[in-house]
Amino acid sequence: MFRAVLVANRGEIALRILRACRELGMGTVAVYSDADRDAPWLRLADQSFLLGPAAPAQSYLDGARILEVARRSGAEAIHPGYGFLSENADFAGAVVDQGLTWIGPPPSAITAMGDKLSARAAAMAAGVPVVPGTMEPTDDPEVVRAFADEHGYPVAIKAAYGGGGRGLRVVEREADLRAALEGAQREAVAAFGRGEVYVERYLTRPRHIEIQVLADTYGTCLSLGERDCSAQRRHQKLIEEAPAPGFDPQVRQQMGDAAVRLSRSVGYVGAGTCEFLFEDGRFHFLEMNTRLQVEHPVTELVTGLDLVHWQLRIAAGEELPFTQDDIVLRGHAIEARVNAEHVAAGFVPSPGTVTAWREPGGPGVRVDSGVWAGWEIPRSYDSLLAKLVVYGGDRETARRRLRRAIDEFVVEGVPTTLDFVRFAVDHPDFARGDVSTVSVEREWDLSPIPPSPQAAQAASEAPKAPSRTFTVEVGGKRLEVALFEPEDPRTLRRPTRDRGRATGGGTGASGDLVAPMQGTIVKTAVEPGATVAAGEVVLVLEAMKMENQIPAHRAGTVTALHVGPGDVVNAGDLLATIEA
């Protein structure tokens, strides 16, 4: 038991952890930035401290400031949540050096799993299968070529210090090898300051399956089963579920054993996750996340265990009172992420003010959120507003429940990824449980997803207009009437042109190729006057430290390039003109 726990995070996860502390009778200390003064999680804390300005480096990433708050508040332990400082071994070490308890694994375990090559080496040593690939960093195209010659294309070039898909390049043929190596290195240096890469055989349609582990300080380390997180886009998970649909119990056991072996080998303590790719009945270790994950609730629902309770109790020195045989998976859970994003425009973050917020409820529905009506979503942080998690006795019950809960969820003021989830739960692949990591991006036609009224409003750049609904009774029958007119029609501005946001690349008859997102032009791939096929890469745009190849939206002649390397563009800005 801790007298007080400092929660070094924000949003839904801060709320989640504060609730657990209160349930265990521990005192709570919350922190916040200038942008989060009005935040809902502060109400659940015994004490709250301002960290500083909105910029993460000056608030939630400022370890020294957080330690100072810990001292002032009398907190005995720090829970980092996910993101921010949660996988920072130096900060974890500093917490321990201050005589405080770090609610997470030992810093040495964070370091062992901190880069992909060292994680691969640990996995090999523990007898855990990894994807065939090189084990040493290289910057030599010949090393990459030799590996591809031996194992065949496609190969994946990966940044050793990469993450979230940054510094990852897939090479289909020898001719693309050099450019891919340079691209991976450039991206890795930009994002992580380190350009080391290595090569792996590229699996073309794997599922992303991860194993939740829980270890105490007395040598007990258990697998809490798997989660299937294959439904993702641009390395942003959208839907996660437990157990994985149609999963063979024998494979579950083998993966669980592998995750436990690996965790033990690095002296793991607390809650952790081993990520695997699963293809053709075989699994390959990818990396280990040494923290609580966003999607932990689906595991909680099928195991009946409260992961945050156990993190706190393990950190307080308690022994796990159950064994592997006691871990029984029951029923099915699905989580949908509710991000403030404009789906039809290519999942573009879309912060704004949440004007209405009504969460679904009823049997088998859990909502972890950090939002209320009137909340202005800060631009400085990620766009996760809430997680809608449903439970059912079997997968189909859970799937239908998710559909029902989405229909109940009222969010106004900002568009959300619920627009996507509504579409996804009805998709035949999802209904069948046949989703891989490439389904959403490469296989599904997302064009039927209608722009939500909020998204349409955002795209039209109309003044923040009252899109209001009224309830009227006509002949005694209740009717909902939606009003999309601005209050004062004189302020209505017509959009001067389709800025292309609705498609991400510009479509239709227009020759305008527009930026699908804000970012920096890294390079141009064609010269003015060039003839391009639809889909051919025209330029490379770096956004959020990821390089995005911008394809031609139509075949034709590039009559003008309006930007060049180094230019910063906003979503909707004109990049090139392509005349048919």
CB of 301 to ligand MV4, least distance (A): 22
State how far the Cα of 120 lies from the Cα of 123, in Å rounded to an integer: 5
CB of 423 to ligand MV4, least distance (A): 19
DSSP type of residue 68 = H
The CA distances from residue 316 to 3, 106, 145, 216, in Å, are 11, 14, 51, 10
Of residues 156 and 514, the one with the C-beta less far from ligand MV4: 156
Q: Give the CA angle between residues 202, 206, 210 to the nearest 5°.
A: 115
Q: Are strands 77-79 and 4-7 parallel, antiparallel or unpaired?
A: parallel
State how far the Cα of 415 lies from the Cα of 347, in Å rounded to an integer: 10
CB of 238 to ligand MV4, least distance (A): 11
Of residues 33 and 232, the one with the C-beta less far from ligand MV4: 232
State how far the Cα of 278 lies from the Cα of 251, in Å rounded to an integer: 10
Closest listed residue to residue 414, CA positions, set 377, 449, 387, 379: 377
Residues at the site binding ligand MV4, with contacts judged by CB under 6 A: 131, 156, 165, 168, 200-203, 206, 208, 232, 235, 277, 286, 437
Q: How many CB atoms neighbour CB 239 within 10 A?
A: 25
Of residues 50 and 170, the one with the C-beta less far from ligand MV4: 170
State how far the Cα of 266 lies from the Cα of 36, in Å rounded to an integer: 37
CB of 201 to ligand MV4, least distance (A): 6
C-alpha torsion sign, points 237, 86, 20, 306: positive
State how far the Cα of 287 lies from the Cα of 263, in Å rounded to an integer: 11
CB of 37 to ligand MV4, least distance (A): 35
Q: Where do we find the tokens 């809430």?
A: 386
Token pair belonging to 78: 């720090």
CB of 273 to ligand MV4, least distance (A): 12
Of residues 75 and 203, the one with the C-beta less far from ligand MV4: 203
C-alpha torsion 106→111→113→117, nearest 10: -160
Of residues 84 and 198, the one with the C-beta less far from ligand MV4: 198
CB of 240 to ligand MV4, least distance (A): 11
Closest listed residue to residue 285, CA positions, set 221, 203, 214: 203
CB of 430 to ligand MV4, least distance (A): 16
Of residues 174 and 408, the one with the C-beta less far from ligand MV4: 174
CB of 203 to ligand MV4, least distance (A): 4
Of residues 187 and 359, the one with the C-beta less far from ligand MV4: 187
CB of 35 to ligand MV4, least distance (A): 29
CB of 384 to ligand MV4, least distance (A): 17
CB of 70 to ligand MV4, least distance (A): 32
Of residues 160 and 414, the one with the C-beta less far from ligand MV4: 160
Of residues 172 and 485, the one with the C-beta less far from ligand MV4: 172
Respond yes or no on whether the N-terminal peptide bond of residue 495 is cis (omega within 30° of 0): no
Q: Say how many residues make up the chain.
A: 580
CB of 259 to ligand MV4, least distance (A): 16
- Map 555-576 to HEC letters: CEEEEEECCCCCCEECCCCEEE
Is residue 29 within 8 Å of 49, Cβ to Cβ? yes
Of residues 204 and 491, the one with the C-beta less far from ligand MV4: 204
Of residues 271 and 286, the one with the C-beta less far from ligand MV4: 286
State how far the Cα of 6 lies from the Cα of 21, in Å rounded to an integer: 10
Element housing 258 (H / E): helix 249-265
State how far the Cα of 244 lies from the Cα of 372, in Å rounded to an integer: 32
Closest listed residue to residue 453, CA positions, set 494, 482, 421, 496: 482
Of residues 280 and 480, the one with the C-beta less far from ligand MV4: 280
Closest listed residue to residue 330, CA positions, set 295, 362, 303: 303
Of residues 92 and 277, the one with the C-beta less far from ligand MV4: 277
The number of helix segments (H) and strand segments (E) in the chain equals 14, 30
Of residues 65 and 233, the one with the C-beta less far from ligand MV4: 233
Starting at the edge strand that comes first in sequence, how are the strands of the sheet with 197-201 ordered? 166-171, 155-163, 197-201
DSSP type of residue 205 = S
528: CB partners within 8 A, 6+ apart: 558, 559, 560, 561
CB of 233 to ligand MV4, least distance (A): 9
State how far the Cα of 290 lies from the Cα of 278, in Å rounded to an integer: 21
